[in-house]
Amino acid sequence: MVKPVLAIHGGAGALSRAVMSSEAERQYRAALDGILRAAHAVLAKGGGALDCVAQAVCLLEDCPLFNAGKGAVFTSAGTHELDAAIMDGASLNSGAVANVEHIKHPVLAARAVLEHSNHVFFVSRGAEDFALSQGLEMVENHYFSTPQRREQWLRVVNEFPGQAVLDHDAARVQAQAEAPLDPDRKFGTVGAVAIDVRGNLAAATSTGGVTNKQIGRVGDAPIIGAGCYAANRTAAVSTTGTGEMFIRVVAAYDVAALMDYAGLSLEQAAEKVVHEKLVAIQGQGGLIAVDGKGNVTMPFNTEGMYRGYLRQGEEPFVAIYR
Ligand code: ASP
Model confidence pLDDT, tens digit, residues 127-138: 999 999 999 999
In the DSSP assignment, the letter for residue 214 is P
Catalytic residue (one of 75, 189, 211, 297): 189
Q: Which residues contact 322 (CB under 8 A, 6 or more apart)?
A: 303, 304
207 catalytically annotated: no
Say yes or no to pLDDT of 101 above 90. yes
Q: Is the CB of 99 under 6 A from ligand 1?
A: no
d(CA 104, CA 129): 13
Q: Beta strand pairing status for 94-100 and 121-123?
A: parallel
- Work out the average pLDDT over 55-82: 94
Q: Which of 189, 214, 246, 284 to mutate to test the pocket of ligand 1 (most atoms within 8 A of CB)?
A: 189
**pLDDT given for residue 227 in this prediction:** 98
By C-alpha distance, which of 25, 16, 67 is closest to 319?
A: 25
- Work out the average pLDDT over 288-313: 97
**pLDDT given for residue 149 in this prediction:** 87
**pLDDT given for residue 17 in this prediction:** 62
Say yes or no to pLDDT of 174 above 70. no
Say yes or no to pLDDT of 169 above 50. no
Q: How far is the CA of 45 from the centre of ligand 1 (A)?
A: 32
d(CA 272, CA 297): 12
22 vs 141, more confident:
141
Q: Beta strand pairing status for 94-100 and 82-88?
A: antiparallel
Q: Is the CB of 11 under 6 A from ligand 1?
A: yes
Q: Which of 97, 215, 220 to mutate to test the pocket of ligand 1 (most atoms within 8 A of CB)?
A: 220
Least confident of 19-33, 112-126, 259-273: 19-33
Say yes or no to pLDDT of 156 above 60. yes
Q: How far is the CA of 3 from the centre of ligand 1 (A)?
A: 30
Model confidence band, residue 168 (pLDDT cutoffs 50, 70, 90) = very low
Q: Is the CB of 220 under 6 A from ligand 1?
A: yes
- Classify residue 174 as exposed, middle or buried by CB count within 10 Å of its CB (0-12, 13-18, 19+): exposed
Q: Which residues contact 226 (CB under 8 A, 6 or more apart)?
A: 220, 239, 243, 246, 247, 250, 251, 252, 253
Atom number in ligand 1 closest to CA 187: 8
**pLDDT given for residue 176 in this prediction:** 45
Within the chain, residue ranges assigned H as helices are 23-44, 49-62, 106-116, 124-133, 147-159, 243-248, 251-262, 266-272, 278-280
Say yes or no to pLDDT of 105 above 90. yes
Q: Is the CB of 85 under 6 A from ligand 1?
A: no
Give the angle subtended at the CA of 311 by the CAs of 307 and 313, to the nearest 5°.
140
d(CA 78, CA 206): 19
d(CA 245, CA 282): 8
Q: Which residues contact 174 (CB under 8 A, 6 or more apart)?
A: 155
Are 51 and 108 in contact by the 8 Å Cβ rule? The answer is no
Residue nearest to atom 4 of ligand 1 (CA): 243
Model confidence band, residue 18 (pLDDT cutoffs 50, 70, 90) = low
Can you name the residues that pair with 103 across neighbouring β-strands? Answer: 138
Say yes or no to pLDDT of 23 above 70. yes
Say yes or no to pLDDT of 157 above 70. yes
- Between the alpha carbon of residue 270 and those of residues 36, 179, 237, 256, 322, the distances in Å are 22, 27, 9, 9, 16
112 vs 16, more confident:
112
- Mean pLDDT, the chain, integer: 92
d(CA 161, CA 141): 23
Residue nearest to atom 7 of ligand 1 (CA): 240
Q: What pTM does this model have?
A: 0.93
pLDDT in tens, 270-299: 999 999 999 999 999 999 999 999 999 999
Model confidence band, residue 259 (pLDDT cutoffs 50, 70, 90) = very high
Model confidence band, residue 322 (pLDDT cutoffs 50, 70, 90) = confident
DSSP element (H, E) containing 117:
none
- Work out the average pLDDT over 139-149: 92
Q: Beta strand pairing status for 304-311 and 235-241?
A: unpaired
Q: Is the CB of 187 under 6 A from ligand 1?
A: yes
- Work out the average pLDDT over 179-200: 88
Q: Which residues of 123-147 are buried (b: 16+ CB within 10 A; e: fewer)?
A: beeebbebbeebebeeeebeebbee
Atom number in ligand 1 closest to CA 67: 8
240 vs 161, more confident:
240
Say yes or no to pLDDT of 173 above 50. no
- Work out the average pLDDT over 12-38: 85
Q: Is the CB of 240 under 6 A from ligand 1?
A: yes
Q: How far is the CA of 126 from the centre of ligand 1 (A)?
A: 22
